[in-house]
Structure 1
Amino acid sequence: MEGVVFVLIVGIVVHCGAVPTTSPSPEELTKAQDYLSQFFTGAGVNAPGRVLRISLDSFEERLRKMQEFFGLEATGQLDSQTLEVMGRPRCGFADVTRYGHFDSQPKWDKPLITYRITEYTPDLSQSDVDATIAKALKLYSDVIPLDFEQIDSGTADIMIMFKGLAHGDFSPFDAEGGVLAHAFSPAEGLGGDTHFDEDESWTLTSAGSNLFLVAAHEFGHALGLAHSQVQTALMFPTYQYVNTEGYKLQDDDREGIQALYGVRTEPTEPESRPQPPPDRCSRTVVFDAATSVGKNIYFFKDGYFWTHSRSWDGINMRSIQVAWPGISSIDAAYEHKRTNTVTFFKGNNYWKLRGNTFLPGYPRPLSDLGFPLYVTKVDAAVHVSFTGRTLLFVNSKYWGYDERSGTMDDGYPKFIHRDLPGIGNQVDAAFESKGYLHFSHGSEMKVYDYMRRRTIRTQSNYKFMDCK
């Protein structure tokens, strides 16, 4: 049924005890009838707030279906265990067996789906919301030939907002508790739109409502998935927290979404596997990135990095994925000694680390730093310790970032060749060492006096690799 909205409902979980011998109360019978009318009508999915009355003749039959669905003894009798299941947190539309699709199997008929977040929750930073929504959508783009792009203006395929109570779609939320979110199946207009109840407490942990898990479930509906009977599936009707670290779609969810869209044959990250170890002593070696880390300097190249230590002779090489799982290669990096952090850039995202551990809330989009949306990659970065500014290089221009205020400096971007004469038009890698900045482009390294704006000397990159 195209254009239908689906709601995620959370209720009070009653601990299951012995099955009473007394008959259910009138209130319990009413609750059960409403539940079966909404979720086991046998006539497709009902719109939120619309409860269809069923006759007493069909009550027992539908109760058996409900009990069978949840693995209960199909007695057709309204016992305490059945009432307990009816009270569990769940999503508010009809249930099916294994993965399911909607009537007429609506789906998106284009490879790129846009989404826009029009109203954010104050419970989390905008960058955390952006990153979490992108992470939830990536669950699907990893396994089907669909890509998702966030836009910041105009009408997107999937419009996303956090709003309480009535919010313009004839399906008002119900304050804290109850309905957490709802989404529309693929279609024009409201199709795919996903709304989150702002009266909930949105988190990235096991407390409150975990945004990643709720969003991933709702985006399943927005892409065309209905509910599954497999209890471990993301699309199972009841909501429960699971560890989100490294979370992937379960087999049932993956089979369901691939039945609609097919299997993604090309990797979402072409550089996910490191190339054969590069030759550090090549006279033409080009660095992807470089940064100081304590007393060491790290040079990044093709999925690997070399550690140049001042305290011992020799170069150590490791795989980036082994050292920092989740990142296959690095575009740029810089150290901020005052906060004892290192920042990695890859594509449109960046990460902060302390030691070898990623700080919570990352990755974040480049726009969180103040970059305009057309910037999708940082070429090089270096923190200038005596100014407190970080220089961020993109193509032929660079930005100045104030670490204390967390904002870009006014007057940027500036052209590299005009403001930093002598280093050329582009920078591949940069780092600070012994009071000088080092700018690498191609196979050459410029040792630069930043205060005087002049190059001290030029040398080959391989000279840093302890090569004869």
Structure 2
Amino acid sequence: NPSRFPQEYLHHFYGYQPEPDRRKRAAASRDDSHQTRGFCDKVKKMQRFFGLTPDGKLSQETLTVMKKPRCGLSDVEPHGATVRWTKRTISYRTLKNQACHRKTSRTLKAIRTALKLWSSVSLIRFRRREAKEADVSIAFVSGDHGDGSPFSGKGGALAHAFLPGLGIGGDVHFDSAEEWTLNSTGISLPVVAAHEFGHALGLSHSPDPGSIMYPAYNFAPSLELSFDDVKSIQHLYGENPNFHLQSLKRPPPKTPDKCDPDLSFDAVTELQQEVVFFKDRFMWRKHPSFVETRITLISNLWSNSVPSHLDAVYENVEKNFILFFKGDQYWKVQQLILQEGFPRNISDLGFPSRIKSVDAALHFRDDRYTVFFTGHECWRYNELRAVMEGSPMLIEQHWLEIPFPIDAAVYYEGFVNFFKGNKQYKYDFGQNRVVSVSSANDLMDCEMGKSNKHAL
């Protein structure tokens, strides 16, 4: 039942307790505002966790994120140093089963890869056992498999794990109905296994979208723990001395922080009432009605149809589509769905073959045109007629005092904001000049030294 889905999702992952039917009927004659308020609060909590606008409404994008494949564990049961293994060597075994019987050696390799992520940074060790008893039992199961948390078939919950402990404690279950793979097609077993083993070692879900412990499934080309994952596991089990030396050369990746004074952006665009800032595989959304600008994954909203590390993005509000640019390709998305025939080459928009990428796209809603910036040139694109107008102009002649090549540009509250490195240039059309220069993250809510680390 589609109307029950959000209730079930919030019940399972955010502790929402719907009124039992009998009490509901009795309450309906009085006032159900308390019930509605409780539901809205849980929707807001979920929206904050995923970096959505926390308005408590079941918008299309909120439902899209709810329907994304994810881990089966709740997002609101934090547990820190209280639940962990008291020993340093953990035994594991994989249970024989029909679902992946043919691929046993590849499955084992994926599991070893995922376990090694955690053991290479901490003092924990894993030993495989053939015997019946092991600390961590790994199984591919389907539907109701006797632990009170049935799987629902393809999509939805991909896997779940139990916190360290005796019996079922530490065990990891994968839904055999999923299309498990070792790469980016289907659902990547190493990625999901790394996440679930984090739980089996005592870690809870993280609201940091760069963390392997983030609950939504997200395929990243290189499987590695984030800076926060490393700190969390070392807090429980100590630091591997070999890792210490490696990390001096190549520290684990940190999720970009909106309050970092050196922050720069890949692209910035208006999106309905919001301004959206893109960086690597992340984005921040600034909404006029909400103070806090939260980080989320680009793929949370546009699944994997849109690439990371973008060059430029803009929304044509009138025709209700968004264009994303990377290298010589562009993607067209309408209502969160990639349109057929995309990505296409940017030459389709009228760029000559010498132009290999776009630095920034600046869309003017009211005048229905877009300015593209490439190196030291800018181009004017007529959105109504869908043609490039005339020949390119020099940025230094048309946009005085703007350094080039630029990173991003957006029209915001009557000014054009240009971004280059960690600087933002506010440009006044009327005076045809830069009226102020500030840090690139000036539009983020950083006045109190806040960062991505937010209390839910």
Q: TM-score, normalised by structure 2?
A: 0.46
Structure-1-length-normalised TM-score? 0.45
Query: Going by fraction, where is helix more abundant, 1 or 2?
Result: 2
